[in-house]
Amino acid sequence: MDNIFFSIDTYRKWLEQADKPLKDTVSFLIERLLSIDKSINAFSEVEGEAIVARASVLGKGAKGRALFGVPIATKGNICLKDALTTCSSRILEGFRPPYSATVTEKLMAEGALIFNGANMDEFAFGSSCEGSCTGPTKNPWDRTRIPGGSSGGATAAVAAGEVAAALGSDTGGSIRQPAAMCGVVGFKPTYGRVSRYGLIAFASSLDQIGPITNNVADCAAMLEVIAGYDEKDSTSVNAEVPRYTDSLNQDIKGMKIGIPKEYFIDGINDDVRNCISDAIKVFKKLGAETVDISLPHTKYAVSCYYIIGPAEASSNLARYDGVHYGHRDRNARDLIEMYIGSRNEGFGAEAKRRILLGTYALSSGYYEAFYLKAQKVRTKIADDFKEAFKVCDCILTPTTPTTAFKIGERVEDPLAMYLSDIFTISANLAGLPAVSVPCGFGKGNLPVGLQLMAKPFEEEVLIKSAHAFEQNTEHHKVRACDL
Ligand code: GLN
């Protein structure tokens, strides 16, 4: 199948040349997506009529806008008014929010066509997209493997050429990890840079929405649209948003790139190690300098995250009681039985595990020993980065320790699953911006990603260095949808 989505730009040229009524293009795009998605399962449901209806109300002026007619997938935890938004959870079955997320509004204002409800691990708990109540998404590079998670549906949809770009959410790596495993670009902005209004919360102090794209230029363009202060989100930061596209095509000569020794541990597979060391050579050839740095508290990041994340999740999930939203146990004889029955039937295994972990860590007597301690460790992790950024402009690491694993391989082993995010979690704990960019292929032609992290609100540094790397390598030109 032709790849009409090589970049947002090439798609827009195609659209212009086709010169058809938008309605016809939308019907074509939906059919095309459905046919590719049969073997991917990036979407459990595509509400075609609603997509056509939304396209038909795009105003006349929309034609000149940045994303006019561009199909964009949004993860199933990003609200779209009156559209199914279930977080791939039975407990939100049939839920149609009465409002849209700020990011969705912003994309639509630029003329984008929203393909909402991309498949995900239930409530974004997971690293493989196997935790969805509607079944796993497949990796477009190898359909026996996971696409990564939790934004696996949104990411696979981009990699498989179903849509031009996507929005995911990243609490501990859920944009960057699937982007690495599917060979696309995934960007987690600084905490507070992009509004979380209308993002169904997992862990409110860690969640950020960000773009998933075929290349760095598309990523900069998407970020430019979605970033910015929003009075509806009390944690959004009122800081000026630079024009990220101005950071493309800039020289990185003299840039200092920190290489943290704690991220090159045993357990990284050779494919990843080799691709990263080749990538470092490319950066050096472009005139960047590498600096050896240390982030000594890295070893506590996973444990710290699995206290704070579940603690916040257990409190955010308390609202799903069978009364306010979605699924209800109809056989219960009284109120308490109804709460228990609804939550028992509505939540999957991982959600229950997180609720148990979180309520335990927050319970009196354990709060100081676990939650409070984890918060102190979180500060130490953030301090490590502050110290490191005194001697470097950005930090380079692998995004994931391995390439995409087989479907089913880690389902019975939550600890192995949790370790998939060992390199991405720290950026969320410290609130830093971070990006994953394709940097090669391992055995079985499976993509490998490299991660770059920068100081808070220095997204431009990431765009600039990721773009320089991309433009001087060929990986991004090889697409799963062209296989
Ligand atoms: N995989 C991590 C988790 O399971 C991160 C998920 C995310 O970023 N939403 O919590």
Annotation marks residue 285 as catalytic:
no
The predicted-structure confidence for 138-154, as pLDDT tens digits, reads as follows 999 999 999 999 999 99
Give Cβ neighbours of residue 399 (< 8 Å, ≥ 6 apart). Answer: 173, 176, 177, 179, 180, 423, 424, 436, 449, 450, 451
What pLDDT is attached to residue 62?
82
What pLDDT is attached to residue 36?
96
Contact present, 433 and 189 (Cβ < 8 Å): yes
Q: What is the mean pLDDT of the chain?
A: 96
CA angle 277, 280, 285 (to 5 degrees): 130
Q: To test ligand 1's pocket by mutation, which of 127, 354, 410 has the most ligand atoms within 8 angstroms of CB?
A: 127
Atom number in ligand 1 closest to CA 420? 1
Atom number in ligand 1 closest to CA 151? 9
Which residue in 82, 66, 276, 283 sits closest to 198, CA to CA? 82
- Residue 316 Cα to ligand 1 midpoint, Å, equals 15
What span, in angstroms and rounded, lies between the C-alpha atoms of 336 and 467? Answer: 55
Give Cβ neighbours of residue 2 (< 8 Å, ≥ 6 apart). Answer: none
What span, in angstroms and rounded, lies between the C-alpha atoms of 386 and 390? Answer: 7
- Residue 248 Cα to ligand 1 midpoint, Å, equals 30
What pLDDT is attached to residue 197?
98
What pLDDT is attached to residue 3?
80
b vs e for 18-53, b when ≥16 Cβ sit within 10 Å of the residue's Cβ?
eeeebeebbbebbebbeebbeebbbbbebbbeebbe
Pairing mode, strands 113-118 and 185-188: unpaired
What residues flank ligand 1, with Cβ below 6 Å? 124-127, 150, 170-174, 202, 309, 421
Distances in whole angstroms, Cα of residue 433 to Cα of each of 68, 81, 206, 224, 424: 27, 29, 12, 14, 11
The predicted-structure confidence for 21-56, as pLDDT tens digits, reads as follows 999 999 999 999 999 999 999 999 999 999 999 999
- Residue 418 Cα to ligand 1 midpoint, Å, equals 8
Q: Own/partner pairs for 36-39, CB < 8 Å, 24+ apart?
A: 36/1, 36/160, 36/161, 36/162, 36/481, 37/157, 37/160, 37/162, 39/138, 39/143
What pLDDT is attached to residue 19?
87
| CB atoms near residue 403 (< 10 Å) | 26
Tell me which of 44, 88, 100, 150 is the catalytic residue: 150
- Residue 20 Cα to ligand 1 midpoint, Å, equals 41
Q: Is the pLDDT of residue 290 over 60?
A: yes
Q: Summarize the confidence of residues 432-437 as an average pLDDT.
A: 98
CATH of region 8-250+458-482: 3.90.1300.10
Q: Give the 3-state secondary structure of residue 406.
A: strand
Atom number in ligand 1 closest to CA 305? 10
Atom number in ligand 1 closest to CA 350? 4
- Residue 243 Cα to ligand 1 midpoint, Å, equals 29
The predicted-structure confidence for 166-198, as pLDDT tens digits, reads as follows 999 999 999 999 999 999 999 999 999 999 999
Q: pLDDT-derived band of residue 2, with 50, 70 and 90 as boundaries?
A: low
The predicted-structure confidence for 382-421, as pLDDT tens digits, reads as follows 999 999 999 999 999 999 999 999 999 998 888 888 888 9
Tell me which of 128, 132, 174, 420 is the catalytic residue: 174
Query: What sign does the dihedral 182-103-226-31 (CA atoms) show?
Result: positive
Q: Summarize the confidence of residues 64-90 as an average pLDDT.
A: 97
Q: Is the pLDDT of residue 1 over 70?
A: no
Q: Summarize the confidence of residues 317-331 as an average pLDDT.
A: 93
Q: Domain map of the chain by residue range? A: 8-250+458-482
Question: Which residue, by CA, sits nearest to atom 5 of ligand 1?
Answer: 172
Beta bridge partners, 208, equal: 170
Q: Give the 3-state secondary structure of residue 108.
A: helix
Tell me which of 75, 106, 188, 464 is the catalytic residue: 75
The predicted-structure confidence for 104-114, as pLDDT tens digits, reads as follows 999 999 999 99
Atom number in ligand 1 closest to CA 175? 8
Question: Which residue, by CA, sits nearest to atom 4 of ligand 1?
Answer: 126
Hunting for tokens 């990431």 — which residue is that? 462
> pTM for the full model?
0.97
DSSP 443-455: GGGEEEEEEEEES
The predicted-structure confidence for 258-289, as pLDDT tens digits, reads as follows 999 999 988 899 999 999 999 999 999 999 99
Contact present, 401 and 421 (Cβ < 8 Å): no
- Residue 52 Cα to ligand 1 midpoint, Å, equals 33
What pLDDT is attached to residue 414?
86
